[in-house]
Structures are given as C-alpha cells and as structure tokens.
Chains A and B, each alone.
Chain A
Amino acid sequence: MPQMSIVEALNQAIAEEMARDERVFCLGEDVSDANGGYGGAFAVTRGLHGKFGPERVLNTPISEMLIVGMAVGAAMAGMRPIADVQYGDFLFCCMDQLVNQAAKMRYMSGGRVSVPMVMRAPVGATGRGAQHAQSLEGFFTHAPGLKVICPATAYDAKGLLKTAIRDDNPVLVFEHKLLYGGKRTESGALSMVGEVPAEDYTVPFGRGVVRREGKDITIVANLLMMYRAMDAAAELDEDDISCEVIDPRTLAPFDYELVIESLRKTRRLMIVHEDTYSNGWGAQLASYIAEHEIYLLDAPIKRLAAYDVPIPCAPVMEKFVIPSTARIIDAARSLMKM
C-alpha cells in the first residue's frame, strides 16, 4: 500500500474527485501553482492547475467573503466547490457567509436548495502569533446546517475529504499545520506518513476510531492532541495505567456511541483539544456524557485544552498554553487516584 503524508493524501483526494466529477473545482488565495505560485499556503493544491487549468483551480483576490460567498452561490447553482483559506483564523472574516448563508440556505428554502460545498482551513499553533494559530473548529459545531471534520491521518484525510466533497451539505475541513507532513517544514511538526489505499474509498462521517485500546481511562482527542495522547498513553503503560485513545475524526456529526462504548470498559473520561477550554466541543462531549451516562463514570470528567487566552507567539509561552504530553500524563495519574 502506498505511503504518503496528509498533504499528499488531501491533494490526491481533490485530484481524484476533480477527475471523477466535473462539478468539483477549487478556489482560494494562492491555490494555483502556475507561474511560481504556491499551490495553496501549505501546498495542498500543488499540481492541480497543470491537470485541470485555471478555471477549476481559481486563484482569488484576498477576499474571504468573496471566496466563501462564491462557494455558496456556485454550490446552489449546481457545482461542488472546494474553498480554501490560508489560515483558519481568516474564517472570521467571512463568518456571515459560513453561518448565515451556507448553514441556513437549505433550511430557509424549506429544503429546496442545497449547498454542497467544502471549506478547508488549517488550524494549530505554530509560532506565528494569535491570528495564525487558533483551533476554531468548536465555533462551527454550534451552527446547525454545517458539518465539521478534522482528519488526523493520511488515510482519514483522503477518505474524509472525499466524503466531504460528495456530501450535499456545507462541510468544514480543519487540517492541522503540524500534521501536514509537506515540504514546508514547521518546527515541532510530526512526520505523519501513513498507508493510503490506491483504490477509491471514503470514510463515513460520524464514526470515530479507537487509535489504541486500553482499560483504565478513555482519552478523546483530535488532530495534534490525539498524537500527544498516544505518546502519553505509551508512557502511562509503564505506570500500569492503560489508556484507550479515541479520535472522533468528525465533530459534527459526533460519534458519542463510540465514547460511551469505551466508558463501559474504562469508566474514566479525559478529553483533550487544542481549542480553548470554555464551551468547546470538549465541553459539549463532557455535558453529553454527564447528561446521558453519568452512572458509567467512577471519577469526574477531566478536560485538557488550550488555556482561555489568545495564542501567544514566544515559543515558551505557546508551548505552555497548549496541552502537552506531560500535562496529559499528570492528569491521567491524578484521574486514577480519584
């Protein structure tokens, strides 16, 4: 089976879907690599211009409302656009188009129009300061009408993005900058190369995956935090603390059942995300479990998240704000004492 990075897997998913379905096209800032262009800020759309031409790999002005508004309009008029912003933080420039337009159009029309669009956005703190760093996936789980996914492996990146492109609803795809594994090297990046089948496949929404089985604590973590949870779990094995790590893969819809199934065995829950602490998807998961399955729990739910501050730039502070492997280990040890 071919080995590839997440960047390569995303690129392959887009290229295959564009070849399969002529309604699919890309638009965004610097998405074309013609004439020395980037091919996407993180090179996800590199090479597509040569295969599909400038109309289907549309470089736009720096106009986020235009990019998302065009995607909404083109989607309602029969196309399947894949919109791209360079950094997730820029989505705040076009919240109206995402939340008032993309999310509500189908509903307001009584189901007579649909908005089959994909919005891709990189997230994660990488030493660039507060406006190029936020993990903002939680915002969009609060907007009925949107779907939110966060692939953390190459296999999921390709399979989930294909599902997103074929979905008849607006889907936001959050990709972590430190997991891309592209040619653009980032300090602290993981070398995320994984097996990706050569044949066409999709990964369904609303199905999480157990990345590691365990019997004492269920740790639910997404994107980069999933890898930190895996590292922590490996170390905790030496303390005889056995952690089960769940990657939800999609946040809306969310696979509560997988978490509940795991808790029947472990009876302890920890949630880790890079999004800030208050009112994020972790708070939603914790309250859902408390509301529906509190008797499964032998200890209080533990949540680890970025502290409720904007992401600072200096490496020593940035590192402090984001949950580390050491914080996960400490939290697991104290959770076992409860």
Chain B
Amino acid sequence: MKNTDTIQLESDVSAKTVVALPERTKALGMYESMVRIRKYEEQIYFLFLEGRISGSIHQSHGQEACAVGVLYDTRPTDYMASTHRPAGHDLAKGVSLRAMMCEMFGKANGCCHGKGGAMHMGDISVGAVPANAIVGSNIPIAVGMAYSCKLRRTDDIVVCFFGDGATNEGGFHEGINGAALWDLPVVFVCENNFYGASTHVQATMKVQTIAERAAAYGIPGERIDGNDLMAVNEAATRAIARARRGGGPTLLELMTYRIAGHSRSDASAYRPDDEESAWLARDPIKLFRGRLVEEKVATDAELDAIENSVQEEVDGAVQFAESSQDPEPEDALRNVYAGEGEV
C-alpha cells in the first residue's frame, strides 16, 4: 500500500507544467548553492564514518531543491526557522560553511561557539535563528518573529521549515492558526520526505496530503515536487510575495526524499527498494543540471568547475575546523544569561 501511495503522490506532482529556467547568474547561483549543501553533507557523513566528529547527524542531502528553491530569493533580513535537519537551510540562507564545519567539530569559533551542534545551527546575523530540535516547536516561534516584522512595519518575512512529522504536533495547529488569523508574513514549508523517522506519513494521518490541511486555517496550501528546483522556486516566489504584501501565510508541501537515513545510525530498512530507487533517480541536483546543459544555460565543464570549487571550499573548511581551537571547558558556564555582570 505504501508503494502505491508513493507513486501516486509522485505522479500528482509531476503532472504540473515545467517552470522555465531563470537567467544564467541566478541559475548558476542556485546550482552552486545546491552543490554546496550536497558536498557539505557528504563530507559530514564521511567525517562521522571516520570518527572525526561525534554526536549524531540528521542529513539533508536529497532535499537541496527545497532549501535553495525557497530561500534563494530571500533577504538577509528575512528570518528562517529550521529543524533538527538544518544544514541545507542554513547554507541556503547564507550561514558560513566554515563556521558550520567548526561547530560540527565542537570548536570555539563554530557558528554557535560549540554550544549548539548539528541540530541547533544558525546565525542570527543572516536571519537564521538557532535551529530547533523539538519537532514542530519552531512553528509558534516563527509566528512570533513574523509578528515582530508586522509590529516593526517592515516587509520582511519568515520562512518556517518542518517535516511531515511536525504536522501532527500541536504547535503546527496553534502556530498556523495564529499566523492565518492575523495575516502574518510567514511561508510554512513542509518538506514531506514520507517518513517521520521510520514511520510512513500515511500511517500518521487520515487525510491524503498535508497541503489540504491549509484549508482548515483558511490559507492557501499547495503540493509541489520538492525535487524540481524551479517548481519549488516558483511556488515560493508566489508565497513570499503574498507574505510581503501583507496577504498572510501559505502552506507549501514539498514532496522530497532523504538520501541518508533519518539519523546517523538509520539504514532506512523501512523504505521499499523500488521506492528508494525511483526517488534517488530523481536526484534534484542531477535533474537541474540536466536542464542547464540541455537548455544550453551552462556547459558540463562550467558546472564541473563549480563542483570542484565547492569541493575545495568544503575541504578547506575541514582543515580550518580541525586546526581551530577547542573551547575552554569552563566556557560551558557562559551564555546562560544575557546582561551586565552575567555570563
């Protein structure tokens, strides 16, 4: 039954019209951004296998088109609230790859000074608030950030990412209802990768799609092929424009697939082979690259050059992180409270 559902979901979204490629600079920028996420995540995976990084990881490769398609056109002053799987979102929002790598190595110069780690990556200076590892809890927080944008009379917006599993949390209901009620500038982005850890989304809800839940809040909801970069970007552009002009929130459901398991130790035994191979064949970077070459926006050589340059950036970040200073153990006692005389 799972298989039929999955194929059904896929054919739903593939039936849409093809969105045209953007001008060359943006197209190559988006490609580079997706490649940066992929190479970062692949590097992190190897670092874990080699035991050079500790803790756990929840990886985002395979879902690059969601992060880049939604965030590519946002401003640094727009906010972004991510999840326990934040690396793609953070990189696409402009958090420094070096500072993220240092954070993964637990170094003092990490983007959270080593106190956040893989699941709390962020950098408020580019609008990425610390990522949230409590499923669904970033949703009411994103609504509060959007309320701040409204009270301060800016036209900044908030992008709030979450997975399919989060849509069964109370925070999803309370948060989206509030944002809808007050027409707040939020784009709610559900990356539906079919599984909340090992449990299939259809085993957790009676309705067929997450997008249709938007109707309960009186806002638009749309299901998009989350591996089609331009389809994501087109839908996000509309949702962001609606939010900026005070039109209120939108719920986007992006159908996508993890390349890795849920977390470090997950071999994804719950995913049927045919489903996995069908989705992995629809790799978002390969799909976009195919179009760039086919429609003569870029040559293979140019795209290879981008990949090589990003790989050098990632390798350089690993070297930089490994040679960076560890925090002092006593630094653990700092940053509990803000303010004069406090640490």
Give chain A's interface residues, CB within 8 Å of chain B.
25, 55-56, 58, 60-61, 63-66, 68-79, 81, 96-97, 100-101, 105-114, 116, 144-145, 147, 167-169
Q: B336 touching A65 by the CB < 8 A rule? A: no
Q: A97-B137, A108-B112, A110-B113 are contacts. A81–B174 as well, Cβ < 8 Å?
A: no
Q: A77 touching B336 by the CB < 8 A rule? A: no
Given contacts A64-B174, A74-B151, A111-B335, 6 further A-B contacts (CB under 8 A): A65-B175, A69-B171, A76-B129, A109-B122, A109-B130, A169-B337
Q: B79 touching A77 by the CB < 8 A rule? A: yes
Q: A108 touching B120 by the CB < 8 A rule? A: yes
Q: A73 touching B338 by the CB < 8 A rule? A: no
Is B181 an interface residue when CB atoms closer than 8 A count as contact?
A: yes
Q: How far is the CA of A232 from the CA of B147 in the complex (A)?
A: 49
Residues on B with beta carbons closer than 8 Å to the beta carbon of A68: 140
Q: Annotate B242-254 by CB proximity to A: 1 below 8 A, 0 otherwise.
A: 0000000000000
A68 closest partner in B (C-beta): B140
Give chain B's interface residues, CB within 8 Å of chain A.
79, 81, 110-116, 120, 122-125, 129-130, 132, 134, 137, 139-152, 170-171, 174-175, 177-178, 181, 334-339
Q: How far is the CA of A39 from the CA of B124 in the complex (A)?
A: 35
Residues on B with beta carbons closer than 8 Å to the beta carbon of A64: 174
Q: A69-B143, A110-B113 are contacts. A168–B338 as well, Cβ < 8 Å?
A: yes
Q: A55-B151, A81-B144 are contacts. A108–B130 as well, Cβ < 8 Å?
A: yes
Query: 30 A-B residue contacts at CB 8 Å?
Result: A55-B150, A60-B178, A65-B174, A68-B140, A69-B139, A70-B144, A70-B147, A71-B144, A72-B140, A72-B144, A73-B142, A73-B145, A74-B147, A76-B124, A76-B145, A77-B149, A96-B137, A97-B141, A101-B141, A105-B130, A108-B120, A109-B120, A110-B111, A110-B114, A110-B115, A110-B335, A112-B123, A145-B337, A168-B338, A169-B337
Q: A75-B144, A112-B112 are contacts. A63–B120 as well, Cβ < 8 Å?
A: no
A115 closest partner in B (C-beta): B338
Q: B134 touching A70 by the CB < 8 A rule? A: no
Residues on A with beta carbons closer than 8 Å to the beta carbon of B152: 78-79
User: Could you say which of B132, B170, B178 contacts A70, with CB atoms under 8 Å apart?
Assistant: B178
Q: How far is the CA of A78 from the CA of B127 in the complex (A)?
A: 12
User: Could you say which of B112, B148, B150 contacts A109, with CB atoms under 8 Å apart?
Assistant: B112
Q: B147 touching A73 by the CB < 8 A rule? A: yes
Q: How far is the CA of A169 from the CA of B113 in the complex (A)?
A: 19
B146 closest partner in A (C-beta): A73
